[in-house]
Structure 1
Amino acid sequence: MSSDAKFLLLDAKDVGQLIEPAKVFDAMKRAFTLHSRREGRVFPVVREQLHTGGVFGIKSGDVPNADLLGFKAAGFWPSNRKAGKEPHQATILLIDPHTGRPLCLIDGNTITTVRTGAVGALGLTLLARPESTSLCIFGTGTQARIQLSFALRYMPMIKRVSYVTVNGQPDDGFEKELGHLCTLIHAQDPDAAVSESDIVVTATPGSGPLFSPAAIRAGTHLNCVGADTKGKRELPEGVLRRSRLFTDDRDQSRSIGEGQWDAECPSIEIGDLLTGKVRLTRDLEDITVFDMTGLALQDLVVAEMLWHLATAKSQGTTLSWPW
């Protein structure tokens, strides 16, 4: 074996220059198709509280027929906000499955943000009523912004957006960034905002139920982003049983997602819609929920794409990594 191996580093600037939302959207279709066909594997998730107040996790997996193996080490460090830094942190490592040697280390923050936004849009295109014109979003942080951006890109019929903040106050930065894309209204009453919307997106830290169960009207679709750890939730009690539940991964949803609060609730993995294993007929009165816990395959297929792009463009930092 060669002893003059190389190791590629892609920092946040490199990722920002290489990543393209449309290509990430297509990559998410690939990730879920691989998962549905069980051509890609996701290994058990590590998700642990730290003594520092942060949460640390590892999501890993592989795609044997593509020689793709790796993991994302990521989590949430709320104290970063005091330093004016992003509390969500992520790093992705691609590994040669034949030798175990590292191939590419990538700043995973932007990848996590964009791929989650793309997954949200995919959920909307598959599950929400196509004629939906109104949306309510909970949260105004990084993930809420990317969710709304992708939603408006892939659901052009949406014209009116209500947003709910944790402190009940308008968010000028949120409005400045996204207000030109739709009619953006700060909502004082969460229940009223939900009841007046065709689509509801929850993109918060998952600290507890965000609205009353009675606020959800027939025909509503909900994308739930924030529940990704044991003990987290955004939906009120009883909503899942009133709904048709869709997940990125059934077991993961029951372990760390909204599904943990009703583990017996039946669900459909969204990849099965893409592969035709399940054919969806959506009645006008159906309430649908997409529980987004995040799969290692989502990160790995995007990381692989960026690695190949960077190699072709001679971008990033190459280190000698002999062995």
Structure 2
Amino acid sequence: MLSRSDLADVPIGPAEVVRAVEDAYLAFAGGDSDNPRKLSVAHPDGWSVAYAMLGRDGRRRVVAMKTSYKFDPHHDRSTKRYYTTITLYDDATGLPIAMMDCARVGALRTPAVSALLVRETVRPGARSVLLIGTGTQGRNALPQLLAANPQLDRLMLYGTHAEGLAAVKAELLHHHPEAELEIVDDPYAAARSADVILATAGPGTKVALESSDMAPGAVAVLVGYGLAPSTLGDADRVIATSAEQMALTGTDMAGPDGRLRRVDAELPQILSRRAVGRIAEDEKIFVYNSGLVLTDIAVAHALAVRAIAEGRGTQVPLWD
């Protein structure tokens, strides 16, 4: 058993996380891994939502099951409860590896996916990025983004929590001491000059950028909240990690007719060069980052192997 505190300071750098996530996508695109559609149940009034995800990483020979549960009745940080776990099994020996808290895994995996999505869709010559949100995803977004896109050197941040703004800056400077972070007061004005928009805010945000707020050639990545449905509906091109999962979890981005725009290409196919992310420089591209459990497996396995080697965690006689 590996707890949140066991995993909190296991060393792993942004570039290594990005490589692990990319490798997981390439294995999936090559037919070496399996990633069935996630299952979900939700409270009818929106108080809670739970997901269950199963995956098999054929290259690492690891099978895993991940669960997540979010209780968020008032869209308020003080009452929100969110728990995720992942259980890893060695598919070469048939033995369990670990049951572990998945908070840090998700905090690292999701921005690494965004970094790859940006790398494959950003226009040539792009330099500026606007990050919306200072929660867990916002705090880890920029180091991962720069690991895959080092040319981005104008970094703008919008948030409403002073401690969150400070945490985003601290995490960025930890990995990139020379970086400069510009705190913006008007996300709409900032968006009009941004080549990349990362929307990682929580459901309580008042920001909802429209398609008209995007500059020609910009790419907008939806991780949490911060984008209006028009950014999807009016996009010249739509990219997703998984069209199937976007259909399941992206219903709040549906157009006036209640339908979601079709996805033009998925990240695994783009990474394997079976599809392209961007066709023209002036395209406005909408990107939906829903994550695949295979990317959780890749990061979780890397953390578990290191944690176990360091003697962390608690060995429990669960099946004795």
| TM-score exceeds 0.5 | yes
User: Per the alignment, in what secondary structure is the counterpart of residue 26 of structure 1?
Assistant: helix
Q: What are the superposed Cα offsets for residues 228-277 of structure 1, whole Å, 9 maximum, x if unpaired?
A: xxxxx833325344231111111111221379624342321111122121
- Quote the residue 1:161 is aligned against: 155
Q: What are the superposed Cα offsets for residues 261-294 of structure 1, whole Å, 9 maximum, x if unpaired?
A: 2434232111112212124554221222221011
Counterpart-to-counterpart distance in 2, 1:305 and 1:20: 11
* Correspondences of 1:221-300 after superposition (within 5 Å): 221-226=219-224, 234-237=227-230, 239-257=232-250, 261=254, 262-280=259-277, 282-300=279-297
1:219 to 217, 220, 236: 217
Structure 1, unmatched stretches of 5+, are: 1-8, 228-232
Alpha-carbon distance change, 141 to 319 in structure 1, aligned in 2, over 3 angstroms: same
Structure 2, unmatched stretches of 5+, are: none
- Quote the residue 1:195 is aligned against: 192
**CA contact 2:210–2:231 (8 Å) conserved in 1:** no
Counterpart-to-counterpart distance in 2, 1:181 and 1:49: 44
Counterpart-to-counterpart distance in 2, 1:266 and 1:117: 21
2:3 to 3, 8, 11: 11
Counterpart-to-counterpart distance in 2, 1:147 and 1:134: 14
Q: Does 1:305 align with 2:298?
A: no
Alpha-carbon distance change, 215 to 92 in structure 1, aligned in 2, over 3 angstroms: same
User: Per the alignment, in what secondary structure is the counterpart of residue 158 of structure 1?
Assistant: coil
Q: Does 1:114 align with 2:111?
A: no
1:316 to 313, 316, 319: 313
Counterpart-to-counterpart distance in 1, 2:178 and 2:246: 32
Which residue identity is paired with 1:220? A
**CA contact 1:62–1:70 (8 Å) conserved in 2:** yes
Counterpart-to-counterpart distance in 2, 1:249 and 1:217: 25
Q: What are the superposed Cα offsets for residues 31-79 of structure 1, whole Å, 9 maximum, x if unpaired?
A: 1112222322222323333489333222221235653211111233347
Give me the identity figure in percent. 22
Q: CA deviation at 1:313?
A: 4.1
- Quote the residue 2:51 is aligned against: 57
59-68 vs 210-219, greater mean Cα deviation: 59-68
Q: What are the superposed Cα offsets for residues 139-183 of structure 1, whole Å, 9 maximum, x if unpaired?
A: 11111111122223433332323322358x896524652476544
Counterpart-to-counterpart distance in 2, 1:34 and 1:163: 34
279-288 vs 134-143, greater mean Cα deviation: 279-288
- Quote the residue 1:135 is aligned against: 129
Alpha-carbon distance change, 312 to 174 in structure 1, aligned in 2, over 3 angstroms: closer
Q: CA deviation at 1:133?
A: 1.7
- Quote the residue 2:71 is aligned against: 77
Aligned pairs, number: 307
**CA contact 1:190–1:210 (8 Å) conserved in 2:** no
